[in-house]
Amino acid sequence: MIKDKLKNSNLGTLLALIVLMIIVTALNPSFIYPSNLINLFRQITINGFIALGMTFVILTGGIDLSVGSILALTSALFAGFVAGGMNTFFAIVIALVLGAVMGLVNGLLITKGKLAPFIVTLATMTVYRGLTLVYTNGNPIQGQSGDFLFAFLGRGNFFGIPFQIILFLILFGISFVILRKTTFGKKTYAVGGNEKASFIAGIDTDKVKTKIYIISGVLASVAGLVLASRLNSAQPTAGQAYEMDAIAAVVLGGTSMSGGKGTVVGTLIGAVILGVLNNGLNLLGISSFYQQIVKGIVILLAVLIDRQRNK
C-alpha cells in the first residue's frame, strides 16, 4: 500500500513536470533546443547533488540548512588547493573528507547534543559561511584553468554527455539502491516513521542519523567541486539559498517533511521541475526579482501539498 501511494505521488509530480514543459515550450520553442536542454540539465545537477543528500535527511524527519555553506567552503578549499599546486585528485579527496567532517559535526550535535536539527544546521550554516569568507578574504579564487581534472569535473564530456550529468546519475543510482535495497535504507525509513519505536526495536537511531548528515555533507561537497570546476573559480558567496532549492525539490518530489515517506525518484522529478521553472523564466525574460517570488510561492505550495498529503 505504501509503495502504491509513493508511485501515485511520483506519477502526479511527473504529470505536473510534463505539463510545465509543454507550457514553457509553447511560450518559447527554444526551450526544447538540444543546447538549452543540455544547459538545463547541467544546472539541475548542482541542486540535484544537494537534494539527494537532503532526501536522506528529511526522510529521518530532520533538516540541513548548512548544505549551501558546506558547498561554498569545500569549493573554496578545493580551488585553493589546486591553485596552490596540490595534485587535483588529492584535493578532491580532501574536500570530500572535509564535507563528511562538517556533516559529522552536524550529526553529533543533533544526536549527542540533543539539539534540534534546525537550530544546529542554522548555526553551522553561519559558521561554515564565515570560514569561507575568512579563507577567501571575500574574493574569488582562480588560477586553476590549466588543470585537466579540475576542468573535467564541471566542463568535461564523456561520449558527448557532460560528465557532471553522468556523475549525478551514478550518485542517484547509488542513493536509490541504498534506500530501496539495503538495511541502512530500511532503518532510515523506520527512524523517520517512528524514531521511538525504531529505538525500541533495536535500531541505533543516533548512528543512523549521524551517517545521514555525513551523506548530506559529502553530496554538498560534490556539488561544490562541480560548481567550482564549471565556473573555473570558487566564489565566496556560492551556495547561498541552495538549501531552499534542495528542500523544495525534495518536498515537491513527495517526501514528507515529517519523515518516513519519500523516494529519490521523486526528488529527481522535483529538481527537474525547479530547473525547468528557472530556465523557462530566464527564456521568457522574467526579472530575477520576480523569479525569487515565484520560487518562494513554489516552496510554499510544496509545503502545503505535503501537509495535505499527510492528512
Each residue's pLDDT tens digit in the chain (311 positions)?
445 455 555 777 888 889 889 999 999 899 988 889 988 999 899 999 999 999 999 999 999 999 999 999 999 999 999 988 889 999 999 999 999 999 999 999 999 999 999 999 999 999 999 999 999 998 998 866 677 888 898 888 888 889 999 999 999 999 999 999 999 999 999 999 998 999 998 999 999 999 999 999 999 999 999 999 998 888 989 988 899 899 989 988 888 888 888 899 999 999 999 999 888 888 888 887 887 888 788 778 777 776 776 66
Long-range pairs of 190-194 with CB within 8 A, sequence gap ≥ 24? 190/260, 191/60, 191/61, 191/259, 192/58, 192/59, 192/60, 192/61, 192/256, 192/258, 192/259, 192/260, 192/261, 193/259, 193/260, 193/261, 194/260
What pTM, to 2 d.p., does this model score? 0.91
